[in-house]
Amino acid sequence: MESVSQATALNVAAELSDEAIVDRIRGGDSALYEILVRRHNQRLYRTIRAILRSDRDVEDVMQDAYVDAYRHLDQFKGQAQFATWLTRIAVNRAIRKGHGERKHLALAVSDHEHDLAIERAPAAGVDPEHTMYGHELKAVLESLIDELPDPFRVVLVLREVEGLSTAETAASLSINEDTVKTRLHRAKRLLRDQIDRRLGPAATEVYPFHLTRCDRVVAGVMQRITLPA
């Protein structure tokens, strides 16, 4: 009976805003923290993954960030959205982890010093051929994003992949909005340059007409032209 009532409470609380849920957690209902974790898992995953450039430690850093946030909920003043506050904690955790492995991680560098996956089910009706190319393209794109300099990669992921606004991205990374715009512009330019450099020779292989598809077309045409008029 207790588990049923707890599930009901979670369902009801799931309709509340982050801030309202935080208030309830502060009031002693710690079980509701599960809602916040599930609600923000994708954003934290993508943010941390963009900083570390590897899946290896992402889940550990995510858990550390959530635990940090929980232990310091009393410091959340509501001056920014909870999601932004949480993302900032995750960014700091990821930077600390990154510094331990890559000495040149530098999300806060000046722009003048420099001149990034959660699987989704394939859409209904998409054939295996398209699914395969979708996975291949995703892998190529991720590798290209991983090669961007740290400051540009993280801004690109937050803005273009996660869909945060310029203001939300700036608040999450503790930089100003003009810097976000500049880094996003440069990230896109670098990404285009990488695509031109690495994928240019393969352009003639785009949209290949495979033998199986050729056979289907041939069979269809031959069937139609041999039918009695």
- Checking if the pLDDT of 186 tops 50, the result is yes
- CA distances to 45, 63, 90, 201 from 196, rounded to whole Å, are 29, 38, 33, 8
pLDDT of residue 54: 80
Q: What is the mean pLDDT of residues 194-218?
A: 69
CA-CA-CA-CA torsion sign (52, 131, 140, 84): negative
**pLDDT band, residue 66 (cuts 50/70/90):** very high
Give percent above pLDDT 70 in the chain: 70
- Checking if the pLDDT of 108 tops 80, the result is no
Give percent above pLDDT 90 in the chain: 42
- pTM here? 0.64
What's the angle, vertex CA 111, arms to CA 148 and CA 114, rounded to 5? 45
Distance, CA of 120 to chain centre? 12
- Checking if the pLDDT of 70 tops 50, the result is yes
- Checking if the pLDDT of 25 tops 90, the result is yes
For the ranges 53-62, 75-84, 122-131, 172-181, which has the lowest average pLDDT? 122-131
Residue intervals in the chain for CATH 1.10.1740.10? 1-105
**pLDDT band, residue 118 (cuts 50/70/90):** very low
pLDDT of residue 156: 93
Q: 111-229 maps to which CATH number?
A: 1.10.10.10
**pLDDT band, residue 201 (cuts 50/70/90):** low
Exposure b/e, 177-192, CB count within 10 A at least 16 = b: eebbebbbebbeebbe
In the chain, which residue ranges form alpha helices assigned H by DSSP? 2-13, 18-26, 33-52, 58-71, 82-101, 128-146, 150-156, 166-173, 177-199, 211-226
Domain 1-105 fold: Rna Polymerase Sigma Factor; Chain: A (1.10.1740)
- Checking if the pLDDT of 128 tops 60, the result is no
Residue intervals in the chain for CATH 1.10.10.10? 111-229
